A and B are shown apart, each in its own frame.
Chain A
């Protein structure tokens, strides 16, 4: 058993920390207030190859593995949940194309995605569906060399950026759920205003309207009726991102609490001297360390997935834990701050709002637990 980072992994972590602290942290408040990621931040991320970390160099990636990806995500998420959310959804979409795409699809859609010229989306959810593919109402009707897509997708990350969108619809001839790669912003594709959500501002969720959007036949992702396996693996890979975004939030909560406990004085001494605060700091350390090793391990597992269902159960377990864990951690850290923790002048206020997103996105916590229980009890 080996629990140390290699020199390369340490350097990747250090690189992400340095970029996050020097470039993102100074504008983190602005991103939160304006709900928009500055272009130069996205350009900086592209330059450091953060948009294609786990993917092969052949397709524009950095060949850094999902273990490299979690190390970076943690540091980015620590300073901006919104950027982490954008990166997570993008990497999830690319992950699905990487696993199921043809050679041509990978060259066409992964290269600009990995290079950060495009930001990728993954569109399953609809106004009438949560996690159940059977309820899907979007349709794909074959018409010569094209599929004609119609329907509405809800809460889709990055839908306002150009690039590929992995989209799920029922193929009308078979009635089977099928995945396609759609060029966003093509004719018939339109989007809503971004949803105004509680936290992770900058990571935008939009509704997508498809009105007779023409998708070439060669953009079928996998086979007709293979939508469920694409969804299963895609969502499982997505949970690496959302879990690690939660990990970054937990680290932020931990560090903010420690900093405040050392700086804030009561009756002439730092509040860190009081046992009540010390217990909270210990709880935060426990929460951070447990989430950290779960996420790092999940990243390592994702590098070599042999059984997608088994991996999906692992990812669900990590997501269930990290999602709830970050909310608990943020709450404890707010408690350390007392009333000041409620004020916008303090970073922990944003960390708390970002944290509450954790258990709800990429499948709610209870759904994750059902996947975990199913994987145990069905054996």
Chain B
């Protein structure tokens, strides 16, 4: 089975410093999104049980050639990269268009796995948009997957419960972080990652033109400020009553 795992290159969130209430991205190394790593683990596990290969697919700037080694170390067999500086700031619609065009170029992909959202912007749109462009069915919020032939059974983790759905391949699946614990690659898996097959395309190779200007500008990414009520309580009973009064509990 040809499994495609789509992953996004993002700044390493743990290394971002904040200065004047703004994130500083200088010298912050790039990495792959955390939920994307769950998606990769799903793909690699399916390959290990059912055979086939896992291709990691990504679009971004030239740093991607180095960053993608993380995925190749963690079990992807090969990489297909679409590289252009403009892709680093492109919106979800452009990225989806690029990824879908790349999938069409690949030999018979049957399953595309995404993380539910990227580690930086978390728009959660790209998976659905790719499914729409390819006209494939899509399963979102997958918390477990079971594959029987070309029938995929997925549990979807919803707010008030779990939904079990079945879908015929080819399909797009977006997974949540709780679906697994990504494996830790060994020393040789890391060292050999750079030697795995990697195809690098430019948008023009897919017949696409990418707008040079960012379509989405981040004006602010601060958490909304909330005013503390600073209520002083003397007992648990008082606390319970206060929470009830605020409609936090006992609704």
- B interface, CB within 8 angstroms of A: 29, 66-67, 69-70, 73, 184-188, 190-191, 193-194
B188 touches A8 (CB 8 A): no
B184 touches A8 (CB 8 A): no
- Smallest CB-CB separation from A18: which chain B residue? B184
Not counting A8-B191, A22-B184, A62-B186, a sample of 9 additional A-B residue pairs whose C-beta atoms are within 8 angstroms of each other reads A7-B66, A7-B194, A8-B190, A11-B185, A15-B186, A18-B184, A49-B188, A62-B187, A62-B191
The answer to whether the Cβ of A360 comes within 8 Å of any Cβ in the partner chain is: no
For A15, give its contact among B67, B184, B194 (CB under 8 Å).
B184
- Smallest CB-CB separation from B70: which chain A residue? A11
B187 touches A64 (CB 8 A): yes
A18–B70 Cα distance when bound, in Å, is 14
- A interface, CB within 8 angstroms of B: 7-8, 10-12, 15, 18-19, 22, 47-50, 53, 57, 62-64, 68, 72
Chain B residues positioned under 8 Å from A18 (CB to CB): 184
Residue of B67, B69, B73, B188 with most partner-chain A CB within 10 A: B188
A10 touches B191 (CB 8 A): no
For A8, give its contact among B29, B186, B194 (CB under 8 Å).
B194
A15-B191 contact in complex given A7-B66, A7-B67, C-beta closer than 8 Å: no
B184 touches A57 (CB 8 A): no
A7–B67 Cα distance when bound, in Å, is 7
B184 touches A68 (CB 8 A): no
- Smallest CB-CB separation from B182: which chain A residue? A18
- Smallest CB-CB separation from B67: which chain A residue? A7
The 7 closest A-B pairs by CB, nearest first: A62-B187, A49-B187, A7-B66, A11-B190, A49-B186, A64-B187, A48-B186
CB distance from B83 to the nearest CB of A (A): 16
A15-B190 contact in complex given A7-B66, A8-B69, A10-B29, C-beta closer than 8 Å: yes
B67 touches A48 (CB 8 A): no
B188 touches A11 (CB 8 A): no
For B187, give its contact among A7, A10, A22, A68 (CB under 8 Å).
A68
B187 touches A57 (CB 8 A): no
Question: Can you name 20 A-B pairs with beta carbons within 8 Å?
Answer: A7-B67, A7-B69, A8-B190, A8-B191, A8-B194, A10-B29, A11-B69, A11-B70, A11-B193, A12-B187, A12-B190, A15-B184, A15-B187, A19-B184, A22-B184, A48-B187, A49-B187, A63-B188, A63-B191, A64-B191
A49–B184 Cα distance when bound, in Å, is 11
A15 touches B185 (CB 8 A): yes
CB distance from B25 to the nearest CB of A (A): 17
CB distance from A52 to the nearest CB of B (A): 9
B187 touches A53 (CB 8 A): yes
A47 touches B186 (CB 8 A): yes
A57–B191 Cα distance when bound, in Å, is 12
A62-B66 contact in complex given A8-B193, A8-B194, C-beta closer than 8 Å: no
